[in-house]
């Protein structure tokens, strides 16, 4: 791509991002290196003993007549959480291309998924070679605040359809959301038991229960999940780390979130490869295009995981985690908006009754069911059963979490809390409309 075109593309993208932030009533962030350094230094100073945070907490406690010493365990937790995040961010390479409104870490994660997919050219399979050779310099991966966990594939405004560029954009909150969600699920799973229980289930042992790999009794994942959902649905932002995670879960959690990010990016590549951005919107029901993109996205994900040596029975883990995240958001939004109890059973019933005209994506459970079906039709029965076990575990865990968390959101509804609106401005665009130069008018 020539330099002038690259620059025009970046300008268009920044314009759309600014509109996105203003639509959601958020101030656009500044990720220039100086601003990031200054902010990091400020945050480190704020959590130090005697720093801003401690002063604030002590003052608040004193005002309420509580002994400030009671805040000590909480302050210790916050400091440990900040130190843990700092340790993880140290030594990370900086992405080559900066984007003033996007977190360098997010761009790094996105570009890593693109590299994984581009490596499919090495398989020599004609469909991969053809698609990824063509797309190699055409796709920009970046962030756009939308209030949705789903990504978007877009044709930038004013693109020549004969020689187009594409954007794949994810809400910046996606990264923190999936980071927390994978840690929460990994904290609640006895993953040593998971391996051998899944294998026993795979060979036909019906006495094995998914609940045998759930670590009951630990309140920690529940509190984290509650914070996560409330921050995203009510405030539209990512969670704040108030406590460090147990580091023994990190390799399992990391594997899950890497798979989830790959699947979400591959789904968006699926839209591009299927030609959904060129098709007229009326040609196909949007939610059919979504299911189609899921299938293509899954085939790409599976091919990458196969190339990387991930065993078949664990390959559905990341997609299952992502769909459970979507289901939790759907349930939280529903309860906060209506005050009516809602659960996975209700989502299942809604999935069976078909899409509503207002739905941009099919429900998380429809998508999850289609993917499992696709997996089962391509893998031997024992591998399919093992994969089914892991997906079943994620569903059981989600139910267990929700039995405890759901009632809290009904109380919050009574207290007047409502979900932040999702930015609907571009829904429909994903399936074919061109982004208008004046996106305020596009709907």
Rule CB under 5 A: say whether 261 interacts with Zn ion. Answer: no
Rule CB under 5 A: say whether 277 interacts with Zn ion. Answer: no
- The nearest distance, CB 151 to Zn ion, in angstroms, is 7
Residues 305 and 255 sit within 8 Å (Cβ to Cβ): no
What is the sign, positive or negative, of the torsion defined by CA atoms of 188, 170, 286, 318?
negative
- The nearest distance, CB 170 to Zn ion, in angstroms, is 11
- Options 2-10, 115-123, 290-298, 325-333: segment touching Zn ion (CB under 5 A): 290-298
- The nearest distance, CB 83 to Zn ion, in angstroms, is 38
- The nearest distance, CB 364 to Zn ion, in angstroms, is 12
Q: How far apart are CA 265 and CA 113, in angstroms?
A: 7
- Options 199-207, 246-254, 283-291, 386-394: segment touching Zn ion (CB under 5 A): 283-291
CA nearest to 117, candidates 256, 254, 280, 302: 302
Closer to Zn ion by CB, 390 or 435: give it: 435
Closer to Zn ion by CB, 231 or 293: give it: 293
Helix axes 173-188, 250-274, angle to 10 degrees: 130
Closer to Zn ion by CB, 290 or 330: give it: 290
Closer to Zn ion by CB, 159 or 290: give it: 290
Q: How far is CA 41 from CA 251, 351, 353, in A?
A: 28, 48, 53
Closer to Zn ion by CB, 266 or 293: give it: 293
Closer to Zn ion by CB, 144 or 293: give it: 293
Q: How far apart are CA 153 and CA 268, in angstroms?
A: 5
- Options 42-50, 77-85, 137-145, 289-297: segment touching Zn ion (CB under 5 A): 289-297
Name the DSSP class of 234.
Answer: I
- The nearest distance, CB 418 to Zn ion, in angstroms, is 26
- The nearest distance, CB 268 to Zn ion, in angstroms, is 7
Q: How far is CA 226 from CA 76, 179, 408, in A?
A: 21, 14, 9
Q: How far is CA 426 from CA 150, 153, 186, in A?
A: 12, 10, 34
- Options 39-47, 70-78, 285-293, 302-310: segment touching Zn ion (CB under 5 A): 285-293
Rule CB under 5 A: say whether 371 interacts with Zn ion. Answer: no
- The nearest distance, CB 204 to Zn ion, in angstroms, is 37
Q: How far apart are CA 230 and CA 278, in angstroms?
A: 37
Residues 262 and 303 sit within 8 Å (Cβ to Cβ): no
Backbone angles phi, psi at 169, to 5 degrees: -125, 135
Rule CB under 5 A: say whether 181 interacts with Zn ion. Answer: no
- The nearest distance, CB 341 to Zn ion, in angstroms, is 29
Rule CB under 5 A: say whether 110 interacts with Zn ion. Answer: no
How many of the chain's residues bind Zn ion (CB under 5 A)? 2
Both structure tokens of 278: 């060129």
Closer to Zn ion by CB, 172 or 297: give it: 297
Tokens 């990387």, residue located: 308
Pure H helices in 339-380: 344-352, 364-376
- The nearest distance, CB 380 to Zn ion, in angstroms, is 30
Closer to Zn ion by CB, 185 or 426: give it: 426
Residues 198 and 176 sit within 8 Å (Cβ to Cβ): no
- Catalogue the E-assigned strands of 207-312: none
Q: Which of 16, 117, 181, 293 binds Zn ion (CB under 5 A)?
A: 293
Closer to Zn ion by CB, 224 or 290: give it: 290
- Options 77-85, 135-143, 179-187, 291-299: segment touching Zn ion (CB under 5 A): 291-299
Name the DSSP class of 360.
Answer: S
- Residue ranges binding Zn ion (CB under 5 A): 290, 293
């Amino acid at each position: 791509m020539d330099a002038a075109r690259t620059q025009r593309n970046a300008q268009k993208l920044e314009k759309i991002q600014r509109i996105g932030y203003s639509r959601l009533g958020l101030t656009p962030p500044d990720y220039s290196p100086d601003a990031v350094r200054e902010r990091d230094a400020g945050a480190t100073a704020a959590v130090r003993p005697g720093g801003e945070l401690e002063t604030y907490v002590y003052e608040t406690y004193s005002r309420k007549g509580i002994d400030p010493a009671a805040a000590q365990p909480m302050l210790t937790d916050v400091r440990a959480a900040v130190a843990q995040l700092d340790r993880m961010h140290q030594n990370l390479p900086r992405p080559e291309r900066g984007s003033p409104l996007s977190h360098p870490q997010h761009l790094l994660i996105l570009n890593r998924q693109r590299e994984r997919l581009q490596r499919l050219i090495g398989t020599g399979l004609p469909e991969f070679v053809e698609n990824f050779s063509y797309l190699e310099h055409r796709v920009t991966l970046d962030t756009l605040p939308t209030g949705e966990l789903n990504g978007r594939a877009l044709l930038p405004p004013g693109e020549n359809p004969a020689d187009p560029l594409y954007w794949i954009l994810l809400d910046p909150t996606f990264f923190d959301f999936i980071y927390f969600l994978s840690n929460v699920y990994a904290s609640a799973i006895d993953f040593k038991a998971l391996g051998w229980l899944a294998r026993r289930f795979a060979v036909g042992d019906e006495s094995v229960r998914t609940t045998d790999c759930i670590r009951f009794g630990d309140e920690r994942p529940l509190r984290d999940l509650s914070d996560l959902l409330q921050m995203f649905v009510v405030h539209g932002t990512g969670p704040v780390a108030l406590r460090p995670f147990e580091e023994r879960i990190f390799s399992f959690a990391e594997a899950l979130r890497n798979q989830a990010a790959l699947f979400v990016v591959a789904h968006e590549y699926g839209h591009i490869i299927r030609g959904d951005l060129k098709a007229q919107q009326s040609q196909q029901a949007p939610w059919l295009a979504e299911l189609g993109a899921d299938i293509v996205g899954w085939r790409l994900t599976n091919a990458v995981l196969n190339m990387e040596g991930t065993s078949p029975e664990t390959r559905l883990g990341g997609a299952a985690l992502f769909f459970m995240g979507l289901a939790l958001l759907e349930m939280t939004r529903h309860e906060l908006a209506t005050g009516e109890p809602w659960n996975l059973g209700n989502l299942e019933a809604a999935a069976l009754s078909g899409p509503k005209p207002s739905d941009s994506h099919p429900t998380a459970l429809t998508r999850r069911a289609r993917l499992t079906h696709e997996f089962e039709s391509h893998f031997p029965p024992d591998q399919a059963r093992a994969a089914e076990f892991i997906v079943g575990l994620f569903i059981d865990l989600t139910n267990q979490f929700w039995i405890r968390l759901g009632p809290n959101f009904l109380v919050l509804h009574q207290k007047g809390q409502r979900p932040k609106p999702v930015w609907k401005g571009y829904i429909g665009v994903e399936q074919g409309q061109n982004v208008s130069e004046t996106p305020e008018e596009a709907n």
